[in-house]
Amino acid sequence: MDALFITFEGMEGAGKTTLARWLSERLRQEGIPNWLTYEPWEPRLRELLLRQGDLRREEELLLFLADRAIHTRHIRMALAEGKTVICDRYADSTLVYQGYARGLDIAWVRQMNQFATGGLQPVRTYLLDVPVEIGLNRQRERNRIGAEEIAFHERVRAGFLAEAQREQPVRTYLLDVPVEIGLNRQRERNRIGAEEIAFHEQVRAGFLAEAQREPQRYLVLDAMRPLADLQNLIWADISALQGSNLFARSESESSA
């Protein structure tokens, strides 16, 4: 099989990470070498982008692009080594989040993406489309225990402190932090995901508009369907792509 560059896109909670992981494992079982990766990629930039509260949208854009430029170099190396690359979010996320949803000029963001990627484009982008409320709910439900009341977390903290006192200093090294601060850190982990519903609606509409613009690259999947159905659809599509011998399009092809 030729090395393919495949991306998963969609709003938060659509199922990108779940399906990207599944695809990587399925390829591995078939003996197909692959690299499962994601964006934002570089740990310090990821931390800055998802946590720092006071970024202007231009600053946010430039940081995502810097991250992509570095990441793309590694993606190209993996492809050159014959590895299929599966990427959880890529350039389309910038177009949609910073362009469609934050309101930066879309044509300009497109050009900036071209600059950061050197023209590398995925051969297939799976767009997992889900109503905004459902995506956000899935996200919240993912951590049922983390979503408990403050009183619950106070009991957890008191329990840890009691245990630490019981065993001190033999076994327990406790990283203690007041409950409110811990929970706030948790919420701030993804500052973009914490935006209003209207923002996420723009994201969803943006992805669908892009999918219409490039129907040969995008495959839109109804992410309300059971995971097993989505896996079957993706696997059938990957098999067809292998048959058609596609490789990640190069600069010259994508700008033609």
Interface residues with ligand Z5A (CB under 6 A) are 10, 12-18, 39-40, 64, 89, 93-94, 97-98, 138-139, 142, 190, 192-193, 223, 227, 230
User: Residue 1 or 220: which CB sits closer to ligand Z5A?
Assistant: 220
User: Measured from the CB of residue 75, what is the shortest distance to ligand Z5A in angstroms?
Assistant: 13
User: Measured from the CB of residue 115, what is the shortest distance to ligand Z5A in angstroms?
Assistant: 14
User: Measured from the CB of residue 242, what is the shortest distance to ligand Z5A in angstroms?
Assistant: 24
User: Residue 157 or 225: which CB sits closer to ligand Z5A?
Assistant: 225
User: Residue 160 or 199: which CB sits closer to ligand Z5A?
Assistant: 199
CA–CA distance from 122 to each of 88, 104, 126 (Å)? 12, 23, 10
Residue nearest to ligand Z5A (CB): 15
Q: Are 10 and 130 in contact (CB under 8 A)?
A: yes
User: Residue 81 or 148: which CB sits closer to ligand Z5A?
Assistant: 148
User: Residue 110 or 157: which CB sits closer to ligand Z5A?
Assistant: 110
User: Measured from the CB of residue 159, what is the shortest distance to ligand Z5A in angstroms?
Assistant: 26
User: Measured from the CB of residue 61, what is the shortest distance to ligand Z5A in angstroms?
Assistant: 8
C-beta neighbour count of 132 within 10 angstroms:
20
What does the alpha-carbon distance between residue 83 and residue 33 come to, in Å, rounded to a whole number?
5
Q: Which segments within 131-238 are labelled E, that is strand?
A: 218-222
What does the alpha-carbon distance between residue 21 and residue 61 come to, in Å, rounded to a whole number?
27
Give backbone dihedrals phi and psi of 11, rounded to 5 degrees, phi first: -75, 175
What does the alpha-carbon distance between residue 178 and residue 146 come to, in Å, rounded to a whole number?
15
